[in-house]
Amino acid sequence: SPGIIFLGRGSQVVFQNRPEAFHLRLVAPLDLRIRRIAEFLKLPHKEAARKVQQMDKSRERYLRDFYSADVANPDLYHLTLNTGLFNFEQACRIVKEAMKPGVSD
């Protein structure tokens, strides 16, 4: 059946009581996130570091201000995956397995 993916925007809070929802949080070490943003946006390291810091603060502030929630609260997620420890294919397999019916019930 077709599904919908919501990226952020408080979806982990808005849909927290929906049994068909699966809440995933992707994390990675700061230095890796900065390097990825620098490569993706073709920015100098210092500018990428500022961008990552701004994005983090913006996400934290949005969830706190609109939903009185903490983005780092593990209770809001079925799975938190450190993408610094897995390549893209591995991460996809882990998420796919975790999303199977009955696994996160």
Instruction: Report pLDDT digits (tens) over 18-28.
Output: 988 999 999 99
Contact call for residues 59 and 71 (beta carbons, < 8 A):
yes
Tell me: pLDDT of 73 over 90.
Answer: yes
For 6-20, 28-42, 59-73, which range has the lowest pLDDT when averaged over its residues? 6-20
Average pLDDT on 39-63 reads: 96
pTM for the full predicted model: 0.85
Contacts 24+ apart (CB under 8 A), 14-23: 14/67, 16/76, 22/78, 22/79, 22/98, 22/99, 22/104, 23/76, 23/77, 23/78, 23/79
